[in-house]
Structure 1
Amino acid sequence: MSRRRRMVQSLIGVMLGLATGLFLLSSDSPCLRGEGFPRVAPEEGEEAPPRVSLDPSTLPNNSQKGLIFVGVMTAEKYLATRAVAVYDTWGKAVPGKIAFFSSEVSKQPKNCPDLPLVSLKTVDDSYPPQKKSFLMLKYMWDNFGDKFEWFFRADDDVYIRTERLEYFLRSLDSRKPYFLGQAGKGNQEEFGLLSLEYDENFCMGGPGMIMSRETLARIAPHIQTCLQNLFTTHEDVEVGRCVQRFAGIPCTWAYDMVNVFYHNYTEKTAFTGPLKSKSVHDAVTLHPIKQPQYMYRLHNYIQSLRVRDLLQQRVGLYRELVYMASLINKSVDMVLPSRSAFCDNCVADAPLLGVELSLNQYQPKTSEEVLAWDFISKSYYSDQNLNPRRRPEKAFYVGIEDAVREVMDLINVNADQKGREIDFKELLYGYYRVNPIHGSDYIFDLLLTYKKFRGHKMTVPVRKHVYLHQAFTAIEVRETFDMEDTSNIVPYTEVETEVITEELTGTGLRQPLESGFLKLGQTAQGTALQPPTSVDKRGVGDISDKLVNFILPLSGRHSTFLRFIENFETTCLKQKEKVTLTVVLFPNERENSYNETISVINRLQEKYVYTRISVLPVNETFARALALEYGAAHVTEPDDLLFFIDVDMIFNAKALLRIRLNTVRGKRVYFPIVFSQYDPRIVFNALESPEHFRITQDTGYWRQFGFGITSLYKTDLRRVGGFDTSIKGWGKEDVDLFDKFVAIAENVTIFRAADPGLVHVFHMVECDPNLTETQLEMCKNTRASTYGSQAHLGRIFCKDRERFLAFLKSKRKSVKR
């Protein structure tokens, strides 16, 4: 009986315990929110600070919107600048709620009237902001303690990567006491003066500090006590002391928090330079950003990283889609709609983006189609460049660094679980090639450092061979005119659009309109272009309205000049293009054509009276720098576009359009890469090329190192000081001008691109022996490169090899003698 009685009593006890537990869980007891849960409403007669609104649909636990409450401490003088910058960038992406805490007299700035501002009573903007910080924490708990899992105290000069913050916090249990941030004990001068024990620390305020709900619940009832017992003037030190005393926990000692909550100690120049760094990529918070414009700049960069990650996910999904379609023996168009809400052209993109990851995605059919690998070491070796061994360009360095960074991120995935970390030391060598359809391929031999921090600790150098493929994504086009986005231009009504189209097609832009070049900005109402009523307005009509001032230095070369004039007349004058021509004429000792040249110009001026065609006689020894400077001075309007050209050049209407498009006053100068013909006697066995605009590897080459043909505005030329007129004769003046724009012209972009509409007609280069040593060497190198392509010259050599070898032997014997 006694045994049965004990079993009955135990059963009754269990049932009573379950009933009591269920009752407590169903009640709204404040005990569940932490020990010593403080009041939510102010005491009777006490005026509470204005409450920031909260979406009533927000769930109290584990919700997308109720994860974290971010309180940003700011001051009245920073509300319209720093606070607005925070709210415009990362502030609106917080997985919870954000509010800005300032002094009692603060009001919403005019440039952002919806800024969630809390003006704390009895608080001013004095520094250090100890009272502001503690009362902000009290406000958070009194009003939102039961609505959020985490509470973030932030400065107005910190940037928070919200998606990383959410991922980080969801890996932790907010029911436990946590005090997260970068642990500190003071700088060298303050060490030992902050009243901290040897095992005590604080979370640095700059990069931010995070408290779990449990931690804030423990300190909230004692905030008044903490305010009355301050030992230092450092607000973050006192918050840490308060947490240590009443929550019983220090700031997280983990060394990784230095990288998670990142503080740049240069401060004034922090995050103003290049942003591609490990610290920026790995951090959750970045501090400090003192100037609002750099906050927007950093946000744009972080957003670009997010776009890159999404594009990578997209490529991965396409690969899975193509693979799964192959498993069920169906084509992609059978399993995917041609258009959907998330993809405009899914079927067309799938074969390109869904190709299986491999270094052999492209299969060449002939030896000429084989993609050559470039070799990377301390120098860069490539058979596609006129200089096969050279120092890599800066852009290439950046690309390699990005690829290596991606490799190291992949290698160190789950490094904590594996108990080891691998650091990059050096790129020993590598190979690189570009597949124009699918992307870039890399082969790297890396020197790494293997660090094992679990078990048998060790640090050893290792080498790793990696194979990478950097996939291209689908083509996206963004149309701009004069470097302004056409999407920002207000569309016109249907009637206005018809008038605009008629005017545009009558100004030499019919072909771009019909080919679709200008259709990218169209809307349902019409085209997003402004009417060409004024040169100052932005729109397509402005392009043909740009006056191009041709400046031509000339000395002799009369027959060549006649060819240039014929081309100029056909392309510009007969088409009534808005152009002028200034010929800077020098005498020539070998050719007495001075008067004939002036007569040609006079006849042309009489025939086309609506175009300014003039000649500037200069009775000095020819110097191209001096000629171009005289020509630029002859153009009276400082805002006119100047185009420096040589008499050997021919051009077409498309080149004229590109000159106007690619030259923007105060923003961009255009140094086109022109196509230079090889000797037609070698290529065609003729004195002249039968078709000047035939562009092939055997007919000519791109002058990558030629800077003589230039398009810029006169104001930009004067900004860098113009040409160096001390340079006499041929060459060097163009490189000098290019270097000036690189070194001096701030905010002016140098645009370089191959222009198939600009062709340098072949002529035998004559090098004056009186030139300086540098100029003479440049001249001889240019002459040597004009005979023919290496492949063509190689074929000629192979056809009559014995004859060439005999010639070389005879030359060698003559040299020995």
Structure 2
Amino acid sequence: MKDWTRYIQTELGFRERLFVAVLTSKATLNTLAVAVNKTVAHHVPRVLYFTGLRSAKVPHGMAVVSHGDERPVWLMYETVHYLHQNFGGNFDWFFVMQDDTYAQAERLQALAGRLSINQDVYLGRAEQFIGGDERAPYCHGGFGYLLSRSLLLKMVPHLDSCRNEILSVRPDEWLGRCIVDFLGLSCLSQLQGQHFLSYELAKNVEPENEEGEAFWGAVTVHPVAEPALMYRLHKTFSRIRLGQTYQEIAQLQDQIHNLTMLIPLGEAKLTWPVGINAPFVPKSRFEVITWDYFTEQHLFSCPSGAPKCELAGASKADVGDILQTALEQLNQQYQPQLRFRKHQLLNGYRRFDPTRGMEYTLDLLLEAITQKGHSHLLAKRVNLLRPLSKVEIIPMPCVTEATRVQLVLPLTGQELDFVGSFLDAFAVNVLDTHDDALLTLVLVYGPSEAQRAAQEEAFARVKAMVAQLEKRLRRPPGALDQRPDGGPLPGQAHGRGLQEAPHGHPLLPGQRLDRGQRGGPQPLPHECHWQLAGLLPRALPGVQPRTDRSQ
């Protein structure tokens, strides 16, 4: 079947924004290059790795091009030729970097998006040629450099002349001299109001302790001597970006709140959490979303239809996560005056609202400890929301009766305990009902599983369960597929926040809320009503406690 999307894109002359070319070697392909792949690849449209000699083992999930010669200048010459021949018409920007360079891919994407594609661009960290003209610097290869498509097209006809006439042992100097001599263009560190910021990392440095705008604003960091250091850099910059994101969220929430005051109904029109869709409003009793009741040990809305079952697997992890979140947010809100410790979960409710996400209501018995060490028990209610993110409407054909549903389930070594219950549920709800569905299990071998593969198969139990399920249901081979894969899995973003609203009515000793009522849990008496929302891993900073003096 023809790829109509790519066909239309080609016909209209649309191109992707950024292509990343990584220069690596046989010695570092399975170490530093893998670290680059795990920190950059999922942020840009395309990443390709170029090496002189092919390694005995190419890492999973990485596209590697071997030129057959490890001479640095020859590798650069062949790489530029390859980029022009295979991708010159598909991308606007080409970023060339080494595998000992850490790049903030999101910031690199943003930089390329702010530059005009109609200009010849040679952007990077400007360095002077040894004994050369100070007015014509080249871009240092260790920090990477950005080439525009128009520059690449003009440079390729001169590559053979550059190879024969320019003598250099450094590939970045050779390429810079080629661009300067034949195109009259030198390296720039800023263009069109945009700055290419780089940071030179000292030896034996701790990335977590680095401070200052020079480090925080860097697009690339060099040199990175080992993969562990690159992962630590990635963690540090991710934490910085996360803090900036929460600041932007807080500013947007303030703007929404201020604008709401100017419209009819004012604050009454403001939804909680700020910026999240309002709850679903049913139009009939058949559309009412019921609440599921749970405790720390049991669930009272079981998939099997039983009235009571043990809280286990993903549900247990979910409940543990929201309890920990509630406690963290309460402590963050009231410390140092008060410190809370969970004594008991009295009641728990949850429901999935398709317009906003998973809602939770928790009745907690907490031990409140003052600064002087005094403590007493308090019954509190908190509301939480785990919102949906990046919801996308996918067009579907009008006739779907004969359409097969493809389910892809990635599995890592840490998730083996949940596979059995999932396969049982899949068999009962899909296979037993003869639905046209195909389940593909992607077995993701991490470093520990890969090292033990020769002695012990990490997913042997999963494969045995799949074989037993196929045999029991007498399904043809392939109804449940297994695909080993060693590439990284994209992470998921979540969040949390905290808001307080006063409500409350008495809760008698031993009283529990009726889990069958459709109107939702009733508020606890004479207690504050907390609402937690969010975007993991911490609170939305713009949501502040409110007090209602009218009650």
- TM-score norm. by structure 2 comes to 0.48
Larger radius of gyration: 1
Which structure features the higher share of strand residues?
2
- TM-score norm. by structure 1 comes to 0.34
The structure, 1 or 2, with the larger RCO (C-alpha pairs under 8 Å, 6+ apart) is: 2
